[in-house]
Structure 1
Amino acid sequence: MVKIGITARLFLSLLIVSLLTAVGVGFGTRWSFQRGFQGYLNEVESRRMEAMAEELAQAYQEHGGNWQFMRGNRAAWERTTGAIGRERATAPRTSVNADAGGSSIYYAVPDKAPRRLGLFDMDGNHLAGNLQTGPSLRYQPVLVEGRPVATLVGAPLRGLQEEAEQGFLLQQQRDSVLIGIATLVLAALAALLLARSFVAPTRRLIHAAAKVAAGDYAVRVPRGQRDELGTLAHNFNIMAATLESNEALRRHFMADLSHELRTPLSVLQAQLEAMEDGLEPTDATSLALLQDEVATLTRLVEDMRQITLSEVGAFGYQREPLDLGALLESELNKWREPLAHAGMTVQAGMLPHLTVEGDTIRLRQLLRNLFNNALRHAEGATELRVALHVHRQQAVLTITDNGHGVSEAALTMLFERFWRGDSARTRATGGSGLGLSICRSIVSAHGGDIGASHAAPTGLCITITLPLAEQAS
């Protein structure tokens, strides 16, 4: 089966539409021209009959006011009516009459026109010419001093009677065909250019998508026009930038993870080898050191498991109405002493009782991660302010420290997985870079939102919004 590309399909579609339009216009023009030209000839024939009626009236007067000279006299009939035809034959552009406005009238009627004309007296007796009668005929009275003395009867034109007129019509038709062909060629060229201009952005996107599929996330496509294809190109660039950023974060995390795993494993290996060689005693102190390194490894593996579960939606959420204020106060009481040891006082005040639909275990995990993050990373902080209030049917929780804060660029990256604010952070002060990412997953699963902003005058403010339970709203 022959494969037809988008360019060919679009070109053929536009070409077919142009062809149908040209054919339709051609047939319509031909029909309209033939009809109009036939009407024009009939109108000219009517004018010519008026001129013939004047010639006949003059001949009538010259012969004593009777038609005896015309009755049965073919020569007199042709001599009288043929004068108009001879004028046309000898001088096609010579006027033989003038209309009421003084404009000259030029007759282009076949010389054989008298054969379609007949003359009848006022009693209906045939005098000369054609004997046709009927409702479709033209009747032109022959007037002498305003009094009708006879009637000139003419059969309407049923077609083109003369070679010149037929040749004129054929010439017009040939010209129309040539114009139609030229128009169709121009339309084909325009359709080809238009099809290529439409498909060019699509081809660029196809090539760029192939590069992204091959792992080249740095590729970008020009946006071009401000239309749907331009919007698609813009969204593609955003997607590529996101993939590039995620890939960079993944590589950064893998490097950090390798370092995090290598450090406790190296300590474990060195300690065990020393104990095995008798360089270190196998006592409680040595075992405690080994236990600390195992705990570090366990915490790192657990963080990895948590973030993986959150990404695949495998967290088990048992939602039920719960008092967020009571849960916050309970968890905060557990952290007051560790925070105080770190030099931070907690300012919480009276926390309101707000009911939300949530999983108690996951919300406790959320609060633990946030307080642990403040404990570990709020450098220079001496105060931690915790507030809970209602805004637009949402429970709003803010945790604010007065430390050094983070940079503007870091604000947008705090909740990204694998991100750590200080690449040189040690295991003693830093974690895996997954805690806040887990927080975002928990909040999102509860239909809420989490964000970070600069605190005044210094510090960092984490804001969480959760929808209130229906009975509480």
Structure 2
Amino acid sequence: MRTPLAIIGGQLEGIADGIFTPDAATLAALTDDLSRLRRLADDLSSLSRIEEGAFTLHRAPTDLSALAQAACERLRPQFDDRQILLTLNAGHGATAAVDAGRITQILINLLGNALPACDPGGHVTVTVRADRGPAPGIELRVTDDGIGIAGHDLARIFSRFERVEHPGRSAPAGGSGIGLTIARGIARAHGGDITAASPGLGHGSTFTVRLPESKAAHPRTKSPRTTS
């Protein structure tokens, strides 16, 4: 948190000393830095609650296909702007008792990571499927044909503050390096998990969220709040 605090402090001191003019551009820059700091504080708060076990889920039976469609539509303008095709393959019967807001948070994180991983003309696919095997569950997959992940990085990308660097490509701006850590914590709090796979650099990657299938909400949980 030191970097945005130092930037804000320097800008305010410059305004006080008459070096910077408190015009619209300067105030917009301060607002952007404050927003970045607020997001980081929120991420750290979520991570702390997850690691301390003070993480409350508001479960209810949820159609995960509909939830994935809503998440895709929410981010589709960003994919269209980057000329990246976003496709949803959603099956029927993908229902589980989950905290809809928290699962949406996972999907937004995974889609937000897939977007900068692709070049214009790339393709990202979200797949929702019900697994009727010995351990019934629902799988949410986010697959991209982007830069991929080296084998030695797969084991560490879920660790806190890890940001995989790729030669010749700058890291996404504004990332805290704990988004995947939080996403994994949310999935595990549901009794599920997240895994990552990649054929290697330049060959894309797939993130798979697996959630246990359940038709009824846990009796001690509350109904989820509506999310925008």
Please tell me the residue identity of whatever aligns with 1:396: E
**Residue in structure 2 matched with residue 454 of structure 1 by the alignment:** 198
Displacement of 1:368: 1.5
| SS at structure 2 position matched to 1:400 | strand
Conservation of the 8 A alpha-carbon contact between 1:326 and 1:353: no
1:123-180 per-residue CA deviation (whole Å, 9 max, x = no partner) reads xxxxxxxxxxxxxxxxxxxxxxxxxxxxxxxxxxxxxxxxxxxxxxxxxxxxxxxxxx
Q: 1:442 & 1:328 partners in 2: Cα distance?
A: 16
Which structure 2 residues correspond to residues 25-424 of structure 1 after superposition, within 5 A?
261-376=1-116, 378-380=117-119, 382-391=122-131, 392=133, 393-422=136-165
Q: 2:15 & 2:166 partners in 1: Cα distance?
A: 33
Conservation of the 8 A alpha-carbon contact between 1:384 and 1:400: yes
- If the length of structure 1 is used for normalisation, what is the TM-score? 0.42
Conservation of the 8 A alpha-carbon contact between 1:348 and 1:385: yes
**Count of matched residue pairs:** 210
Change (3 A) 1:427 1:409: closer
| SS at structure 2 position matched to 1:396 | strand
Change (3 A) 1:313 1:399: same
- If the length of structure 2 is used for normalisation, what is the TM-score? 0.83
Conservation of the 8 A alpha-carbon contact between 1:400 and 1:455: no
Q: 2:63 & 2:84 partners in 1: Cα distance?
A: 26
Conservation of the 8 A alpha-carbon contact between 2:60 and 2:99: yes
Q: 1:301 & 1:460 partners in 2: Cα distance?
A: 29
**Structure ranking higher in strand proportion:** 2
Please tell me the residue identity of whatever aligns with 2:205: L
**Residue in structure 2 matched with residue 152 of structure 1 by the alignment:** none
Conservation of the 8 A alpha-carbon contact between 2:144 and 2:206: yes
Q: 2:73 & 2:43 partners in 1: Cα distance?
A: 24
Q: 2:145 & 2:155 partners in 1: Cα distance?
A: 19
Please tell me the residue identity of whatever aligns with 2:181: S
| SS at structure 2 position matched to 1:348 | strand
Conservation of the 8 A alpha-carbon contact between 2:191 and 2:211: yes
Please tell me the residue identity of whatever aligns with 1:429: A
Q: 1:298 & 1:426 partners in 2: Cα distance?
A: 23
Aligned-residue CA RMSD (Å)? 2.4
Q: 2:125 & 2:96 partners in 1: Cα distance?
A: 22
Larger radius of gyration: 1
**Residue in structure 2 matched with residue 432 of structure 1 by the alignment:** 176
Q: 2:69 & 2:93 partners in 1: Cα distance?
A: 10
| SS at structure 1 position matched to 2:119 | coil
Please tell me the residue identity of whatever aligns with 1:431: G
Q: 1:302 & 1:423 partners in 2: Cα distance?
A: 27
Please tell me the residue identity of whatever aligns with 1:344: I
Higher relative contact order (CA 8 A, sep 6+): 2
Q: 1:343 & 1:461 partners in 2: Cα distance?
A: 20
Conservation of the 8 A alpha-carbon contact between 1:405 and 1:460: yes
**Residue in structure 2 matched with residue 44 of structure 1 by the alignment:** none
| SS at structure 2 position matched to 1:463 | strand
Conservation of the 8 A alpha-carbon contact between 2:89 and 2:125: no
Displacement of 1:276: 1.6
Q: 1:290 & 1:283 partners in 2: Cα distance?
A: 11
Displacement of 1:404: 1.4
| SS at structure 1 position matched to 2:160 | coil
**Residue in structure 1 matched with residue 225 of structure 2 by the alignment:** none
Give 5+ residue unaligned stretches, structure 1.
1-260
Q: 1:397 & 1:262 partners in 2: Cα distance?
A: 36
Give 5+ residue unaligned stretches, structure 2.
217-228
Change (3 A) 1:359 1:350: closer
| SS at structure 2 position matched to 1:384 | strand
Conservation of the 8 A alpha-carbon contact between 2:148 and 2:198: yes
Q: What is the aligned-residue identity percentage?
A: 35
Change (3 A) 1:295 1:428: farther
Conservation of the 8 A alpha-carbon contact between 1:394 and 1:467: yes
Displacement of 1:353: 4.3
- Counterpart selection for 1:441 from 160, 181, 185: 185
